[in-house]
């Protein structure tokens, strides 16, 4: 089989694409330059006394930019449709677009449904009023769908992400598979890495690691930060001093030093990450318990069964999470028994648990500071005074009066923080900490690829661009959310 | 003001003490010590050999005692072997009895001995710190002016095309961690087979094979644009976006102030409004942000020095941490914690001086 080129038989479109993209960039630059020169609109008074304004050169260039933008979108869509239809005959991009077909369908369905019902969907629906937010959301959802479909359902990948194929070491993108049999996908779409594995499939498998860990770790960090930050801001005083000192202590640590200290095999042996997991993962349970209790404690008949069911489920999840092989901490010298293996719902891989715990640990002080600041600001509002006058308990005020009113900044920060957590995970992988070296996550892949960077850059460039696009998407999404939440 | 600074210094000292104790505790856990003994002695040591090695070198004393010895507030350990050899923390074997100091810790200026580099920790850290200082200086010289220019240009007309483009640019740079941008820069600008270097070399525009050098090792002795620009650019880009966004927000706020409107109504030229009236007040907030950004640069330094093989302070941190070189690691963490705390202090004091609305009694 022939090696694939990047665009294959769709290369006719390349010329149009370059021209449209070039003109678009030029017109954006021109409109920026024109906007620097202040110009007054030419006004003409009509015979009937009406005023007509001429938009002038700036308006004309803006109009041109708008049309060029639509033309650009049209060319990109033409590329995409052509590639999905033609598959690998449209080159490497064609092959990739065809592989991603389930993701495209899922994205189109999500957007169609969301835009149709956007007026009924609250803040989420308002996101679809802002172009920036929509672009960000599309990129993020692209990787979420890729992670779920490729990582869990094995839909998108072309080859096994761990198997090595002889003769494919460091091969360039689009190289035909050597010794391909019937039923095998015929090419390594993004080439082979230094262990002769398919870069494209590893990229997709790696997205699952990120999509799985980053939002969950951020959520846990928020639980810790909220549960400690609200009382620190609301009560103030000595509690605030002590907690703020501890938060500043962790924040003064260089992140990488902390990772090196926490995520080494020797430290894992001592069981410290397990103790930290026991401590950090209890916060969601405390949070939910206080949340429900403070709301429903006046109706014991509802509160008691509700708490029993919710805490039972959460407690089981908690114990399953922290115990593996029937023990919470199992070092060579002693062990603390946990949930018996029969009842243990799932086991988290040791490496992933350590990474998860340290990422939560690093993120929670920042969340604590944000929540504390918001609580300090909001506790002076009239509705808080009203609730105090009504005789509501302090936890009710914190969780049901202050927290809902702080949701705007917190949601925006949540998106940004997922991006930051993704960067942290990449950093861990880049230094070869935590996850095992054959793990397909993007940081480890960049680390493996960087040694041969100037000779075979494709193995490191592909995950680098993937990580860049995901974090960029999250940042754009946060920007869109901020704009829309400021509007109301 | 004096009391404020004194109180802050007290808290700083307490923080530094707590943090070094945490590092001390984590590095002195038994599995770490065992690894240290095996890398220093040999890998097939028996458990007894390991514990006698560690016991002789004072590693098995209680944690607070060891920490006190490291600080220099407790007398250093002395081991007398069965065959009459005497050695201790503060002196090597064969030192006459009257020349043996009792205390040696960081208070006495003795930072210990690095087990990886076989050298004095203080000297090692100083040489590496000087190299990183050079890198940081270049980064600050590139990052701060460009971030401020981008932020001021974006913030002077909020919502304009220029603002939109520059804001997108700042978002893109904050979304690009150093290990991503570094990898992309090396592949595009510093590879002799890919990117733009082969094209430029073919056209005869550059003399060397590549536009920039992908490794900064030669920059340690002799830094020039060719071998030093890529690492500097990589660190600067990531930090730039954040400062630019803060500058933009502060500039946009100032531009809506009453006195700016008055100046416009008086007919002052727009460039004069921006440069003479708005800029001074708009730069108060970015000052704090820049100071607080310096500790974050430290992270970037570690990544970039590893990626570009520049053997500075970040590289030292990686070496010390991955080999569990306890005393070197402690010195490295003391330095980085002091950097963090001092920049925080400077940013607070500077904010008070720059902003006349804030007074601390």
B299/A256 touch (CB, cutoff 8 Å), yes or no: yes
**Tens of pLDDT, residues B68-114:** 888 888 888 888 777 777 777 777 777 777 777 778 888 888 888 88
**Per-residue pLDDT, A476:** 92
Task: Give the confidence band of A112 by pLDDT, cuts at 50, 70, 90.
Answer: very high
Determine the Cα–Cα distance for residues B60 and B30; give it in Å rounded to an integer: 9
Determine the Cα–Cα distance for residues B128 and A199; give it in Å rounded to an integer: 37
B179/A32 touch (CB, cutoff 8 Å), yes or no: no
**In this complex, which of A248, A256, A453 lies closest to B186 when CB atoms are compared?**
A453
Residue B40: both structure tokens together:
């220093």
Question: What's the rounded mean pLDDT across residues A299-311?
Answer: 92
Residues 6+ apart with CB under 8 A from A203: A190, A440, A442, A445, A462, A463, A466
B175–A contact, CB cutoff 8 A: yes
CB of A174 closer than 8 Å to CB of A189: yes
CB of A41 closer than 8 Å to CB of A56: yes
B343 torsion bin: left (phi>0), alpha (psi -120 to 50), beta (else) = alpha
Closest listed residue to residue A234, CA positions, set A370, A409, A378 = A378
* Mean of all residue pLDDT scores within chain B: 86
Residues 6+ apart with CB under 8 A from A127: A133, A134, A137, A477, A480, A481, A484
**Per-residue pLDDT, A191:** 82
What is the 3 state secondary structure string of A82-141?
HHHHHHHHHHHHHHHHHHCHHHHHHHHHHHHHHHHCHHHCHHHHHHHHCHHHHHHHHHHH
Residue with tokens 């049209």: A74
B192–A contact, CB cutoff 8 A: yes
Percentage of residues of chain B with pLDDT beyond 90: 26
- Whether residue B361 is predicted with pLDDT greater than 60 in this model: the reply is no
Q: What sign for the dihedral angle of Cα A466, A471, A473, A474?
A: positive
For A488, the 3-state DSSP assignment is: coil
Determine the Cα–Cα distance for residues B106 and B24; give it in Å rounded to an integer: 14
A249/B214 touch (CB, cutoff 8 Å), yes or no: no
B343–A contact, CB cutoff 8 A: no
- Whether residue A282 is predicted with pLDDT greater than 90 in this model: the reply is yes
Which chain B residue lies closest to A29 (C-alpha atoms)?
Answer: B162
End-to-end CA distance of chain A: 59
Determine the Cα–Cα distance for residues A425 and A437; give it in Å rounded to an integer: 14
- Whether residue B271 is predicted with pLDDT greater than 90 in this model: the reply is no
Model-level pTM? 0.90
The C-alpha angle with vertex A462 and arms to A21 and A445, in degrees rounded to 5, equals 160
B194 torsion bin: left (phi>0), alpha (psi -120 to 50), beta (else) = beta
B91 torsion bin: left (phi>0), alpha (psi -120 to 50), beta (else) = beta
- Whether residue A328 is predicted with pLDDT greater than 80 in this model: the reply is no
- Whether residue A245 is predicted with pLDDT greater than 60 in this model: the reply is yes
A319–B contact, CB cutoff 8 A: no
For B55-97, the DSSP string reads HHTTTTS-HHHHHHHHHTSSPPPEEE-TTS-EEESSS-TT--G
B198–A contact, CB cutoff 8 A: no
Determine the Cα–Cα distance for residues B5 and B346; give it in Å rounded to an integer: 10
Cα-based distances in Å from B50 to A25, A469, B38, B60, B61 = 66, 49, 7, 11, 15
* Mean of all residue pLDDT scores within chain A: 86
B350–A contact, CB cutoff 8 A: no
Chain B: nearest CA to A307, how far in angstroms? Answer: 38
The strand pairing partners of A324, in sequence order, are: A327
Highest-confidence segment of B25-34, B167-176, B348-357: B167-176
CA B339 to centroid of chain Cα atoms? 7
- Whether residue A217 is predicted with pLDDT greater than 90 in this model: the reply is yes
**Tens of pLDDT, residues A23-35:** 999 988 888 787 7
Task: Give the confidence band of A40 by pLDDT, cuts at 50, 70, 90.
Answer: low
Determine the Cα–Cα distance for residues B208 and B244; give it in Å rounded to an integer: 35
Chain A: nearest CA to B86, how far in angstroms? Answer: 31
Give span(s): CATH 1.10.3720.10, chain B. Answer: 121-354
Q: Which long-range contacts (CB under 8 A, 24 or more apart) does B100-103 make?
A: B101/B76, B102/B75, B102/B76, B103/B72, B103/B73, B103/B74, B103/B75, B103/B76
Closest listed residue to residue B320, CA positions, set B29, B116, B127, B41 = B116
A28–B contact, CB cutoff 8 A: yes
B183/A253 touch (CB, cutoff 8 Å), yes or no: no
Q: CATH number of the domain at B121-354, out of 3.90.550.10, 3.30.70.120, 1.10.3720.10, 3.30.390.10?
A: 1.10.3720.10
**Per-residue pLDDT, B360:** 58
Residue with tokens 């990589």: B234
* Helix A458-487 / helix A199-235 crossing angle, nearest 10 deg: 40
**Tens of pLDDT, residues A137-151:** 999 999 999 999 988
For B53, the 3-state DSSP assignment is: helix
CB of B157 closer than 8 Å to CB of B273: no
ipTM of the complex: 0.88
Q: Mark which residues 200-219 of B lie under 8 Å from A by CB.
A: 210, 214
B19/A252 touch (CB, cutoff 8 Å), yes or no: yes
CA B13 to centroid of chain Cα atoms? 19
Determine the Cα–Cα distance for residues A305 and A22; give it in Å rounded to an integer: 65
Closest listed residue to residue A256, CA positions, set B319, B311, B135, B344 = B319
């Amino acid at each position: 089989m022939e090696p694939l080129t990047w665009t294959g038989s769709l290369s006719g479109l390349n010329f149009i694409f370059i021209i449209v993209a070039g003109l678009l960039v030029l017109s954006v630059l021109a409109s920026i330059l024109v906007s620097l020169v202040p110009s007054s609109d030419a006004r003409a008074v009509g015979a009937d006394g009406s005023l007509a304004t001429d938009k002038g050169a700036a308006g004309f260039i803006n109009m041109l930019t708008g049309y060029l933008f639509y033309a650009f979108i049209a060319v990109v869509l033409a590329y995409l449709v052509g590639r999905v239809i033609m598959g690998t005959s449209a080159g490497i991009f064609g092959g990739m677009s065809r592989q991603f077909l389930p993701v495209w369908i899922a994205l189109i369905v999500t957007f169609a449904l969301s835009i149709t019902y956007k007026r009924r969907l609250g803040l989420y629906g308002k996101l679809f009023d802002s172009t920036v937010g929509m672009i960000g959301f599309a990129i993020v959802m692209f990787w979420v769908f890729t992670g779920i479909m490729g990582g869990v359902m094995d839909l998108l990948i072309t080859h096994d992400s761990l198997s090595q194929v002889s003769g494919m070491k460091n091969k360039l993108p689009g190289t035909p598979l050597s010794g391909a049999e019937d039923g095998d996908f015929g090419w390594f779409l993004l080439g082979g890495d230094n262990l002769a594995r398919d870069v494209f499939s590893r990229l997709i498998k790696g997205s699952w690691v990120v999509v799985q860990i980053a939002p969950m770790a951020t959520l846990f960090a928020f639980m810790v930060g909220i549960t400690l930050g609200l009382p620190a801001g609301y009560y103030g005083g000595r509690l605030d001093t002590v907690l703020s000192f501890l938060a500043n202590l962790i924040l003064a640590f260089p992140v990488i030093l902390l990772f090196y200290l926490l995520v080494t095999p020797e430290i894992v042996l001592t069981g410290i990450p397990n103790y930290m997991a026991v401590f950090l993962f209890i916060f969601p349970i405390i949070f939910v318990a206080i949340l429900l209790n403070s709301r429903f404690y006046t109706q014991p008949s509802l509160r008691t069964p509700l708490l029993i069911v919710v805490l039972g489920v959460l407690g089981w999840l908690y114990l399953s999470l922290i115990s593996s092989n029937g023990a919470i901490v199992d070092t060579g010298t002693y062990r603390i028994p946990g949930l018996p293996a029969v009842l243990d719902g799932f086991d988290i891989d040791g490496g992933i648990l350590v990474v998860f715990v340290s990422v939560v640990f690093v993120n929670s002080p920042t969340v604590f500071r944000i929540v504390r600041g918001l609580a300090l600001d909001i506790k002076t509002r009239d509705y808080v005074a009203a609730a105090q006058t009504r005789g509501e308990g302090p936890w009710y005020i914190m969780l049901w009066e202050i927290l809902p009113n702080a949701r705007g900044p917190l949601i925006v920060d949540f998106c940004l923080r997922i991006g930051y957590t993704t960067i942290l995970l990449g950093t861990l992988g880049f230094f070869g900490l935590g996850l095992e070296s054959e793990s397909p996550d993007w940081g480890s892949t960049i680390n493996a690829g960087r040694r041969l960077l100037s000779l075979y850059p494709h193995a490191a460039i592909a995950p680098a661009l993937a990580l860049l696009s995901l974090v960029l998407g999250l940042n754009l999404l946060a920007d869109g959310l901020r704009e829309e939440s400021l509007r109301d | 003001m004096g009391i404020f600074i004194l109180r802050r210094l007290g808290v700083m000292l307490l923080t530094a003490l707590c943090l070094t104790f945490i590092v001390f505790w984590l590095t002195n856990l038994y599995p770490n010590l065992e690894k240290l003994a095996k890398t220093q002695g040999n890998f097939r040591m028996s458990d007894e050999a390991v514990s006698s090695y560690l016991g002789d070198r004072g590693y098995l004393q209680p944690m607070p005692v060891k920490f006190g010895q490291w600080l220099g507030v407790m007398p250093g350990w002395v081991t007398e072997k069965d065959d009459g050899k005497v050695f201790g923390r503060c002196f090597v074997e064969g030192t006459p009895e009257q020349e043996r100091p009792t205390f040696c810790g960081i208070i006495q200026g003795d930072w210990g001995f690095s087990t990886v580099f076989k050298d004095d920790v203080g000297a090692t850290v100083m040489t590496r710190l000087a190299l990183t200082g050079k890198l940081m200086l270049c980064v600050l010289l590139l990052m701060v002016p460009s971030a401020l220019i981008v932020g001021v240009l974006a913030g002077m007309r909020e919502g304009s095309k220029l603002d939109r483009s520059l804001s997108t640019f700042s978002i893109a740079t904050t979304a690009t961690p150093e290990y991503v941008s570094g990898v992309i820069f090396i592949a595009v600008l510093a590879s002799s087979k890919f990117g733009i270097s082969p094209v430029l070399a073919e056209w005869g525009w550059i003399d060397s094979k590549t536009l920039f050098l992908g490794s900064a090792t030669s920059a340690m002795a002799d830094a020039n644009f060719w071998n030093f620009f890529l690492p500097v650019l990589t660190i600067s880009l990531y930090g730039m976006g954040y400062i630019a966004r803060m500058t933009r927000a502060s500039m946009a706020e100032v531009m809506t102030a009453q006195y700016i409107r008055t100046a416009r109504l008086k007919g002052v030229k727009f460039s004069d409004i921006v440069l003479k009236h708005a800029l001074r007040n708009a730069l108060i907030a970015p000052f704090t942000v820049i100071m607080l950004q310096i500790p974050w640069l430290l992270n970037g330094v570690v990544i970039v020095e590893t990626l570009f093989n520049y053997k500075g302070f970040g590289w030292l941190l990686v070496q010390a941490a991955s080999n569990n070189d306890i005393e070197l690691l402690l010195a490295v963490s003391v330095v980085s914690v002091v950097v963090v705390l001092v920049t925080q202090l400077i940013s607070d004091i500077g904010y008070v001086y720059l902003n006349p609305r804030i007074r601390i009694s």
